[in-house]
Amino acid sequence: MSIAKNDFVVLTGLSGCGKTTFCRCLNGLIPNFYAGQLKGELKINDVDVKGKSTAELATHVGFVFQNPENQLFSLSVERDVAFGLENLGIERELAIERVNWAMEVTGISQLRNKAPYELSGGQQQRAAIAGVLAMRPELIVLDEPTSFLDPKTAEEILKVISRLNREFGLTTLLVEHRLDTVSAYANRVIVMDKGKIVLDGPPEIVYDAPARLIGIGLPKVTTLFHLLKRDGIPVTINPITVTQASEALRRISEN
Amino acid sequence: MISVEHVSFHYPGSSETLHDISLKIDDGEFVAIMGENGAGKTTLVKLFNGLLKPDSGSVLVDNVNSRDRSVAELSRQVGLIFQNPDHQLFAETVGEELRFSLKNFGFEESVIKNRVTSLLTALDIEKYVNASPFMLSGGERKRVALASILVWDPKHVIMDEPTIGQDYLQKDRLRNFIIQLISQKKAVIVVTHDTEFIAECNPRVVLMSKGKIIADGPAKSILTDQTVVEEASLVLPQMTQLMMSIPELHAPDDIIDVYAARKFLLQALTERAETRRESR
């Protein structure tokens, strides 16, 4: 499997299917920190992940976890965002520039002097993303980054991620169960089952195989159209957003 | 029954987290507490099992004031499953995790064995009985945390964000499991942001914002009320959004789940097709 630059990939599958394990291979947590046997070849921009330390890989692959509290620990947002760069020993001027940029694109510049625990959940997750961005990775991996957030805040975070993907060409791998919220942003969905990739393609095509997606939380509009099709209503598309579903229903009701 | 009367609460050194909350939850009732991050949802449920005591007002659990009970006594009656399972799990194996409290409560070995086996099976984690909880996936760890509380059969159950990290199959199981718990006359209280899960369950919804209750009623009427939904930083269920986007179909205004939407559309689209055929 390969992921192209600029791709926005949603990785999904039943709980325990290997999604998180796969992601841990991308930044060397496997095999560096978790015991086990890793076979095959894994390259990021032609750099072989094997034999590289997780610290070296951090400039290529950024990780954002479910709970931002697990990721933030400094006394100010700015220190937190700068932490990775300081560890790399990057020149001060350049570091400041990158930290400022990362805080700006995630919309937290005004929070730079706040302590992470003073922030709301959404602001914390933005700070965690900023810390990763400051390292200028080519790939960002987000493991259910919005599950601790209220739906409105979750939407804002997804918009930030989508903008980074579109405007800065940041390749994005988003692990998610709730396909309702993320499908509209993705150009590709990968479904895993029992440690293997079973489906891979644009969302509207992957979601066309309901029999192979049992247990996967498809967007409700997609499920609705699967059911209507079964009922004999002449639906021709697999909507992934409310707007698409709404336009399709209007066409059906008028003809 | 859990009854909260004019409760206010603040954490030391910060402003008031809950303002004058009153709420009654009956035995066998399924209630979802929803609202924005920081609205006070988790604080409220911590009052239910005595982890926190109110500044003013009272919390009554089965008619006994929470101030007159120790946390140990109350939490046996009201089981609280934390949002983050790692705050709860500590044993070396999943089996030990479940046996721990039962041994402490002095249950007989045969009872312990039965309860542990039946819960592990019900939550689809029986194959991990001898595994370390920390080797499991996030979703699986959450189910172990749930099992480790339910195993002592608390009278009422509170779950803080139980659907995080769960796939659709597990959410479906969870829903059936909750139905089972309420049929045993337990009050089940779920704190969640997962609008679509709640839309499928259709429980009573208590909406909170800034430490207050801003709406309380059946999911069908609360989750379709755009004003309160926005105030609580939620979004309308997808099916509600869809129905609102095609006003010319005149859908009922309480559709929140796929099956209700399907039923309505099937009828509406068929009728329209027939009318057109007749007019031709």
ipTM of the complex: 0.89
Strand (E) or helix (H) holding B21: strand B16-25
Mean per-residue pLDDT for B71-84? 90
Angle, in degrees to the nearest 10, between helices A121-133 and A77-88? 20
> For residues A28, A29, A33 and A35, what is the CA-based torsion angle, rounded to 10 degrees?
-80
Q: What is the pLDDT of residue A34?
A: 81
Average model confidence (pLDDT) across chain A? 90
* Chain A residues touching residue B38 (CB < 8 angstroms): 120-121
Domain A8-208: top CATH class: alpha beta
CB contact under 8 A, A148 and B161: yes
Contact between A185 and A161 under an 8 Å Cβ cutoff? The reply is yes
pLDDT at B12 over 90: no
What's residue A207's pLDDT?
Answer: 94
Residues in Cβ contact with B14 at an 8 Å cutoff, skipping those fewer than 6 apart: none
Q: Give domain limits for chain A.
A: 8-208, 219-255
Q: pLDDT-derived band of residue B29, with 50, 70 and 90 as boundaries?
A: very high
Residue A255 reports pLDDT greater than 80: no
pLDDT in tens, A175-185: 999 899 899 99
Name the band, by pLDDT with cuts 50, 70 and 90, for residue B66.
Answer: very high
Q: What is the pLDDT of residue B43?
A: 93
Which residues, numbered 235 to 254 in chain A, qualify as contacts with chain B under a Cβ-Cβ cut-off of 8 Å? 242-243, 245-246, 249-250, 252-253
Locate CATH 3.40.50.300 in chain B.
Answer: 2-233
Mutation target to probe the A interface, by most A beta carbons within 10 A, among B144, B228, B265 is: B265
The residue-averaged pLDDT of A114-118 equals 87
Question: Cα-flanking dihedrals φ and ψ of residue B173, to 5°?
Answer: -60, -45
Provide the pLDDT for residue A68: 83
pLDDT of residue B37: 84
The 10s digit of each residue's pLDDT in B132-167 is 998 888 888 989 999 999 999 999 999 999 998 888
**Residue ranges of A 204-233 with Cβ closer than 8 A to chain B:** 214-221, 223-224, 227-228, 231, 233
Distance CA B135, CA B215 (A): 41
A55 touching chain B per CB within 8 A: no
Answer with the residue of higher pLDDT: A66 or B34. B34
CATH classification (class only), B2-233: alpha beta
Range with lowest mean pLDDT among A34-38, A78-82, B186-190 = A34-38
